[in-house]
């Protein structure tokens, strides 16, 4: 067991990622005190009722007082104002990080408000489910998932190493990269798939010759998977696309070109092109399973023992949904 890494941790936002962090910090005894902040009175009351944190604060500034580690766990669009609020209240030597799915925007919005005596180290746990809220979290969410840290050129090496140890103690594998590279990688592995999922579900709902009841009744495994992704937090994903628009648009352009190739192959009966692409894509799936980021167990939504949201996150592939 790793033991205490930070005396006091402040979690700003208590949705899926924030609440899961609270659970794993408590389980692994990574901090002596967990303070939390949520803008919603309902969320704060729920956090109190379930004993999610040791202290719950209406103000983010009060939550970060004397904290050794502060983690922003809200949607990206709130980061700038939060950073401005907490900046003057941060303890000298504290580490400030986050869980956002875009890193360039975090450097842009948070960095200017960080005092010189604070360690600002952006981060992104690539984990999640389509669930949200303080009761959706579970300690196993980060197990065998990747957490990407994007230290700045002047980041303190000891502070980075300490934060890396924290994420490893939470169950994550850790990778470090620069913010721009992170945003391009996530544009193709997470952001574009979510955009496609939202669009496919909306398209299916808008086709006049197919009723909504038929879409639901005859949904095949592929469509069900898209609806799961499209059930993710709308506020979070709105902020992701607005804050990573350059990388997403570049990736979307490439995707559109590749989609045109498929369109031509289908139109002209080019079976060889289709077969070769499908074969290459299948190998990617097998590589993901071999890397331990998914299992090969079939379910297709037909298992009678459908797992709960907490169980669904264990031993399954990384599901972007909150911070993801």
Percent helix, strand, coil in the chain (nearest 5)?
Answer: 50, 10, 35
**Confidence (pLDDT) at 302:** 43
Instruction: Considering only CA atoms, give the Rg of the chain.
Output: 21
Residue 211 is predicted with a pLDDT of 66
**Pairing of β 123-126 and β 146-149:** antiparallel
Whether the pLDDT of residue 221 is over 90: the answer is no
- The pLDDT of residue 181 is above 50: yes
pLDDT of residue 297: 60
Residue 239 CA: distances (Å) to CA of 75, 230, 266: 7, 15, 36
Among the residue ranges 118-127, 184-193, 221-230, the one predicted with the least confidence is 221-230
> Looking at residues 75-84, what average pLDDT do you find?
96
Domain residue limits, the chain = 6-177, 181-312
Sign, Cα dihedral of 188, 194, 199, 204: positive
Residue 38 pLDDT: 95
Q: What is the pLDDT of residue 291?
A: 67
Chain centroid to CA 208: 34
Residue 319 has pLDDT above 50, yes or no: no
Q: CA-to-CA distance for 120 and 199, rounded, in angstroms?
A: 36
pLDDT at 134 over 80: yes
The β-bridge relationship of strands 173-176 and 146-149 is parallel
Would you place residue 54 in the very low, low, confident or very high pLDDT band (cuts 50, 70, 90)?
very high
Could you please state the CATH topology (level 3) that the domain comprising 181-312 is classified under: 6-phosphogluconate dehydrogenase C-terminal fold (1.10.3660)
Average pLDDT over residues 63-78: 96
Question: For residue 324, what pLDDT band results from cuts at 50, 70 and 90?
Answer: low
DSSP for 53-114 reads: SSEEES-HHHHTTT-SEEEE-S-GGGHHHHHHHHGGGPPTT-EEEE--S-SHHHHHHHGGGS
pLDDT given at position 316: 37
Return the pLDDT at 142: 95
pLDDT > 70 fraction of the chain, expressed in percent and rounded:
85
Q: How far apart are CA 58 and CA 276, in angstroms?
A: 56
Domain 6-177: top CATH class: alpha beta
The pLDDT of residue 3: 83
- State the pLDDT at residue 130: 72
For residues 318 and 235, the model is more confident at: 235
**Residue 207: its pLDDT value, please?**
75
**Top mean-pLDDT range of 82-96, 134-148, 216-230, 307-321:** 82-96
pLDDT in tens, 187-209: 998 899 889 988 888 887 777 56
Asked if pLDDT for residue 107 goes beyond 50, the answer is yes
Q: How confident is the model at residue 240 (pLDDT cuts 50, 70, 90)?
A: very high
Q: Pick the residue with more confidence: 52 or 211?
A: 52
Is pLDDT at 214 greater than 90 in this prediction? no
Across the chain, what does the average pLDDT equal? 86
Mean pLDDT, range 144-152, rounded to an integer: 96
216-224 mean pLDDT = 70
Q: Say what the pLDDT of residue 131 is.
A: 78
Q: CA 118, CA 96: separation in Å to the nearest integer? A: 7
More confident residue, 162 or 196: 162
């Amino acid at each position: 067991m790793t033991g205490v890494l930070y005396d006091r941790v402040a979690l700003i936002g208590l949705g899926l990622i924030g609440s899961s962090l609270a659970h794993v910090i408590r389980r692994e005894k990574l901090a002596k005190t967990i303070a939390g902040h949520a803008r919603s009175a309902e969320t704060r009351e729920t956090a109190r009722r379930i004993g999610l944190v040791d202290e719950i604060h209406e103000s983010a500034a009060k939550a970060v007082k004397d904290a050794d580690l502060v983690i922003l766990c809200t949607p990206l669009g709130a980061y700038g104002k939060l950073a401005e609020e907490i900046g003057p209240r941060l303890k000298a030597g504290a580490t400030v990080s986050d869980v956002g799915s875009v890193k360039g925007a975090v450097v842009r919005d948070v960095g200017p408000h960080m005092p010189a005596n604070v360690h600002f180290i952006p981060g992104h746990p690539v984990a999640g489910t389509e669930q949200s809220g303080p009761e959706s979290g579970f300690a196993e969410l980060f197990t065998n998932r990747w957490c990407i840290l994007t230290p700045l050129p002047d980041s303190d090496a000891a502070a980075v190493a300490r934060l890396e140890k924290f994420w490893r103690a939470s169950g994550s594998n850790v990778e470090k990269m620069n913010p721009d590279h992170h945003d391009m990688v996530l544009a193709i592995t997470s952001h574009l798939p979510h955009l496609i999922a939202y669009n496919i579900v909306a398209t299916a709902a808008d086709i006049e010759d197919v009723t909504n009841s038929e879409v639901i009744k005859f949904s095949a495994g592929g469509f069900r998977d898209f609806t799961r992704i499209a059930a993710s937090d709308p506020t979070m994903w709105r902020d992701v696309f607005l804050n990573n628009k350059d990388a997403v648009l570049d990736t979307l352009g490439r995707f559109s070109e590749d989609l045109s190739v498929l369109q031509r192959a289908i139109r002209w009966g080019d079976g060889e092109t289709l077969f070769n692409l499908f074969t290459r894509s299948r190998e990617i799936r097998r590589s993901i399973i071999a890397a331990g980021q998914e299992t090969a167990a079939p379910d297709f939504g037909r298992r009678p023992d459908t797992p709960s949201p907490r169980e669904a996150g264990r031993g399954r592939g990384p599901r972007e949904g909150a911070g993801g």
